[in-house]
Structure formats: C-alpha cells, structure tokens
Amino acid sequence: MTTSHQEDAALLARAAAGDHDAFTAVMRAHEDRVFAVCLRMLGDREAALDVTQETFITAFRKAHQFQGNSAVGTWLYRIAVNNCYDWLRRHKRRRAEALPEGWDQADPASTEEVEAAAHRHEIQVALAALPSEYRAAVILSDIEGMALPDVAAALGVPVGTVKSRLFRARRILAERLGEPKG
C-alpha cells in the first residue's frame, strides 16, 4: 500500500484526533520499510519486530506532535532509528553475525547464486559491525534509497553529518570487504 505525503499527513492528523483506522492505514503503508530498517540496524528478527512495534506505538502516542516539516515516512524512520539506538544501548552489544540465510534476495547483478550468497553474507557481517550511526546512514541512504535531506531529517542531523557518516562507513566497508582504497 502506498500513499502520498499529503495523504499520509492527513491520515496522521486524523489519527491524532483519535481515528484508529487512519493510523492503521499509516502503519500498513510504512510497516514493511520500517521493519526492514530495524532488521538491518539490529540484525535480529525478533528484536526488529519488537522495535517496529515500539516505533508504531510511539508514533501513535506522538501523532499530535507531527508538524509536517518532513514526510510521515521520514518521521517514522527517525522514530525507528532512535528506537534501534535505544535497543542497542540497552543490550550493549553490536551484532557481528549475519542475518539468517534467505532473509534477502540474491544480488541480481551476480552471475552465480552461490557467489551472490557469499558476497551477501560478507556484506551483512561488515554492515553489522559498523557503528550504529554509520550503519543507520548506510541503510537509509544506500539500501532504502532515501535522499540525503530525508536521511538527515530521519537521523536528526545536518546533511553534512550524513555525508561524513556515509563517507566513513563506505570506507570502512570497502576495507572490510577487501576493496582497494579509492
């Protein structure tokens, strides 16, 4: 289910006024992508499910605080990323394990499925080992395809900070994946 930014904002305004069906529509429109961000941030399916649920509970409680300065999706990503940071702090660990096999499709650019699976595993491990701030920037920008201003809004930092985090994260990933420095 996809909705426009105006439709999302109108639905959220109705939700803030107590319309549970409107909030359900917002949640359905964004739950898959919010879950994907949480899963990539945390590397644990159960934790991602919990944090996704927590994200929508927080969004429901704070729907009246949405000011429309960004898209509803960006606002939800910010809540999700902050909840992921909180979860990581509470659990005081950075997972360096790969996500379960088959959680994502193989790289379509790869000519062989086995090679793609091996690369996917290496990428998952390298991504999971990044500091959470860098991982969030890479996930939102490179994996989710968000524009830099939207990533900045979701993370609550200036665009320059996002660029810096992306540069550093990509450099770390390149080193860990054995790519030459550019």
Share above pLDDT 90 across residues of the chain, in percent, rounded to a whole number: 52
Which band of pLDDT confidence, cut at 50, 70 and 90, is reported for residue 3? Answer: low
pLDDT in tens, 42-66: 988 999 999 999 999 999 999 999 9
- Residue 17, in any domain of the structure: yes
Number of other residues whose CB lies within 10 A of the CB of residue 106: 15
pLDDT in tens, 138-159: 999 988 888 999 999 999 999 9
Bigger pLDDT: 98 vs 176:
176
Domain that holds residue 8: 1-93
Q: How far is residue 94's CA from residue 107's CA, in Å, rounded to a whole number?
A: 25
- Residue 170, in any domain of the structure: no
Stretch 94-108: mean pLDDT: 52
- Residue 6, in any domain of the structure: yes
- Residue 30, in any domain of the structure: yes
Which of 4-18, 43-57, 58-72, 92-106 has the lowest average pLDDT? 92-106
Using an 8 Å Cβ cutoff, are 40 and 135 in contact?
yes
How much is the pTM?
0.69
Bigger pLDDT: 5 vs 16:
16
pLDDT in tens, 163-175: 999 999 999 988 8
* Number of domains into which the chain is organized: 1
Q: List the CATH number of the domain containing 31.
A: 1.10.1740.10
- Residue 140, in any domain of the structure: no
pLDDT in tens, 29-40: 999 999 999 999
Task: State the average pLDDT for the chain.
Answer: 84
- Residue 125, in any domain of the structure: no
Q: Using the structure block, give the residue that is written with the tokens 């990533």.
A: 151
Six token digits for residue 12: 């959220």
User: pLDDT at position 126, please?
Assistant: 85
Q: Torsion angle, CA of 102/105/111/112, rounded to 10 degrees? A: 10
- Residue 25, in any domain of the structure: yes
Judging by beta carbons within 10 Å of its beta carbon (0-12, 13-18, 19+), is residue 113 exposed, middle or buried? Answer: exposed
- Residue 146, in any domain of the structure: no
Q: How far is residue 16's CA from residue 21's CA, in Å, rounded to a whole number?
A: 11
